[in-house]
Structures are given as C-alpha cells and as structure tokens.
Amino acid sequence: MPLQITARDIKNAHPMRLQSQTDLYYAKVGNRLLQRLLRLPAREEMDGETVELIAKKVALYFEDVICDCGLWRSFVEKHRELYGRWLPFHEVDKDYMADEPHIEDIALIVWNVLLEMWKDKIVNPESPRIMQIAEAFYEILDDEFEKAPINEDLKEYFERAAFLDDYIEVRNELQWLAARCYLTAGRHRDEIFEREHENVCRLLHFDEEDDRGWYASMCQVFFKYKVGPLALLPQEWLALLLEKNGRQGQAEDVRRIEYRPFDLYRLEDFDAHFIHLSDTKERKISLRIDDYGDMQRSTLMKTDGCVAAYIKYRGEWHVNGMDTWNKFGEQHEKLREQKRRYKTGMAQKKFDALMQKSGGSPLFYFRNGMELRQFLMDDIGIPQHLMKPSEADDKEYIAFWVPSADEDFYIAPDAALYIKDPRNPYYNAAEARQHAVELITNDYFVEGDMVRYLISYDMLPDAAIVHGSGYELGHRQAQKNLDFLARAIRRDQY
C-alpha cells in the first residue's frame, strides 16, 4: 500500500479530533514533504512508518505556526526560559519568529521523531541526514508560506477554551497531549501505557483483555507521566498553551490540578449531596454524589469503601476513570497500618551521619560489590543476616545514590568511571569520553534525580554525542544541551 497522508490523519492529530476545512490542504503539504523525503538519500534505514510520521509531524508543525495556536510557541518560549535561547542544538537569530517556519525547527522535529522510532539509537541532532531533510522540507514550506490558510477552527478552539468548564473535557485535552499531539506525544508513549495498564489491572482485578482496564489506565497516564521534549506533565503543557492564548487565569486552574493515584478509600459518610472518603494515609476528600451518576443510596449502604483514583480541579474532587466499590472490612486498617510501618530509605540519624561523612553529597563510590556490601552493613546499618546475595556483588566501579532519609537508595554499576568528583577515586577520563553520555541517554541506567544532580554540579564534563566530525564537536553539542538532552530522551525518567 503506497504511503499517504490523508485529511483524516491531520484531523485525528488535533485536540478532540477537530475537523477543519484546512485539513485537506495540510494533508497535501504533508504528501509533498513525504514524496520529497522518499527521494532523499537521507531516508536510508528509515522504514515507511518513520518516513510517513516525519512528513506528517512537520506538516502539523507548519499548521501550528501558521495559525499560531500556541503549541510550538509554548515550546520555544519555555526552552528560552530554561536555557536562555530559543532552540536546543541550533543557533538562531535573536529576532526569531515562532509563527514562521525555520530550518532549525524542522531539524528538531525530525530528530524528535527519530527519538520516538529509533528507541535504542540517539542520532546527532545536527547530522547531515537530519539537516538534508530539514533543508529540503524548508524549501517546500517556504514555497507554501504565503498561501497557507490559517486553521481558524483550531485557533478559536484554544482561544475560547470551552473545554475548561468540564474536568472530563480537560482530561481529554491531556490525553491529546500525551497520545496524539505532534510535539509532545511519542517517545516512551506505548511503554508508559502498557506499564500503567498492568498496574491498574492488578489493582482492580481486571483481566488484561478487559477494556475497562485500558480506559482506567489511560486516565491515570494523563496525570502521572511527563511527556514531550521538555519532560513536562500534560497539564503543564496545556497551561502553557492556554497562556499563549490569553487564558492566564484558567492556565493556573490547570496547573493546580491535584492527582491522587489508585488507593483503597474508606467510606466515612455520605448525604444527599456529598460522599466523604479517606485514603490509607488518612487523607480525607469529599466529592459530589452526582459524580457517581446513578449510584443509589442502597448501593452505598452495602459497601464500606472503594478502590479509586481522584483528581481535584477548580477546588472539587472527581473520580478519575474507574472505581470498584465493595465491602473491604478490616483491609482498610491493615493497609493503613502497613503504610505506617513501611518506610523507605533509612533513619534520619544514619542519613545525617552519611552526609557528614560525604560533605553533604548524596553520592558514594565503590570499587566493587563487596566494598558496597560492607558499606551497607557498617554505615547504613543493615544487619548482616539480612544481606542476601545480590547482582550487585559481581559489579564494579559502583556509584551509590542516597538522595534523602525518606527515599530509596540506588546503585549504578560502572557509573563511577564516568563521574568527575574530587571524592571519586575511580573516575577515568578516557572511559568517560566514551560512555558518560549513557548516564543521560540510557533511561534506566540511573534515576532521574541523580541525573539532574550530576548535570547541575557539572559532574559529567566528558559527556559527548557521537558526532561524525569527531569528539570535540559532539562534546560541545552535548555540554551545551545536557539538561535538554536528559529531558528529551528520558521524558518521565527525567
């Protein structure tokens, strides 16, 4: 079947799959881009799905900048707020205009698509392949620029923002940003949905084929996981977009949305208007009984609680997705007691002693797993009889991360070779030149808070992107954009 972008593809990428008279035009632009890419040497190694996705997303970017609906503008202005310049990787004029197409914008979108499609490969964002595509595409967009129609429907949609009056419609916008938006959906999307689906099915005792599990899990994703090249929650992206459309007050409403994940809630009381619940941390919430639709008083009389997730929007709590009501009996108190007893991390006194030993640094370094094992017993205070054999026993050059007394600690084998720290005797500059960037690009090598710490204290000075023109250029690119790279590649793991 030949590759093709249709008006339906453009419509389906809009919020609420909004249909517009301009959809056919932008589909035609997308097909011009598609046909051009198919003739370029740069498309080698790209399958048809990747080629089509690049052309479609660049066409949607073009639609965005023409109508200035605010998404691309939100990205570049937030990037400038964070880093003092309009774009990562590329130098642009100080009078850069977010409502005009630019070669550098296109290159970044192509790179973003390749991050999505080539999950195990990080391409140099200035590679000849990407720049060849960007320059070819820019010729087409520049040719179309003066005659491109404004999508008035899309522009009006965000200017009016009628969806803000209903929390379910707000959630639909967050779904669009997490799952279908040309800029923010993409890398890790499918893995996140699958992970959350497994969690929800286990909590609610749904079969994995049960559609209710997919619905409930998707509702959680939109509030829990960071998306887009700046690794922001969907509600933060939506707030930025609203601000660009003159909706500052409503943007703050969206920013302040509070999310409570699935938990066992005890039914404390109810009346004709409200249901009063408390979770296993003994936090109380009240929500309108109307939120439960046709639930009868007799049903509430037969239960003593539910497993549910909730969101608070504009001062009111609402059910987020699915819930299950039942007679839980003593389970409420058992879970509360478990949470009171269960504590991650370590005693505050132990943590304070560690910080005194390290001069306030949450990082420790070990030659091998045996050294780490001794440290866990002597300094953390884990009894020897609890020290079971571990995979860490056979590891070397371990970085040990202990961010606070209340949080779990983590180990990162080999990472000590790449971290430049006066306290780290195992740092190896030659190894770091080759592998330090993996602490950024390997989503599960180290925790996101450790990555942010390493970047903020300039402890990865050797990290470099693989660059066709050599280490120095790849090093310069990486060091100038290290935090952005971490956000764009790691997303929710940032």
pLDDT, tens digit, 9 for 90 and up, residues 464-474: 998 888 899 99
Contact predicate 464/437, CB 8 Å: yes
Q: What is the DSSP letter of 376?
A: I
- Hey, what CATH topology would domain 258-341 get? OB fold (Dihydrolipoamide Acetyltransferase, E2P) (2.40.50)
Residue type, 469: S
**77 token code pair:** 């202005």
Q: How far apart are CA 482 and CA 465, in angstroms?
A: 10
Contact indicator for 468, 125 with CB cutoff of 8 Å: no
Q: Match 């009996």 to its residue by tokens.
A: 329
Q: Is the Cβ–Cβ distance between 18 and 154 less than 8 Å?
A: yes
Q: What is the pLDDT of residue 177?
A: 96
pLDDT value of position 382 = 77
| Contact of 72 with 64, CB cutoff 8 Å | yes
Angle between helices 211-224 and 189-204 (to 10 degrees): 120
- Report the pLDDT averaged over residues 266-292: 90
- What's the whole-number mean pLDDT along residues 196-220? 87
Give 171-201 pLDDT, tens digit per residue.
Answer: 999 999 999 999 999 878 888 888 889 988 8
CATH 2.40.50 occupies which residues in the chain? Answer: 258-341
Given CA atoms 213, 218, 219, 221 in this order, what sign does their dihedral have?
A: positive
**What does the DSSP 8-state code read for residue 86?**
S
- Distance of alpha carbon 174 from alpha carbon 180, whole angstroms: 10
Which CA distances in Å does 209 have to 189, 212, 214, 219, 380? 19, 9, 8, 17, 44
Q: What are phi and psi of 481, to 5 degrees?
A: -130, 25
- Distance (Å, whole) CA 129 – CA 413: 34
Instruction: Name the pLDDT band for 99 (thresholds 50, 70, 90).
Output: very high
pLDDT at res. 345: 65
390 versus 163: which is more confidently predicted? Answer: 163
* Out of 85-89, 254-258, 349-353, least confident range: 349-353
Tokens 């690794």 label which residue?
231
The predicted model gives 208-218 an average pLDDT of: 87
Query: For residue 269, what are the CA distances in angstroms to 94, 191, 300, 319, 386?
Result: 60, 39, 9, 17, 44
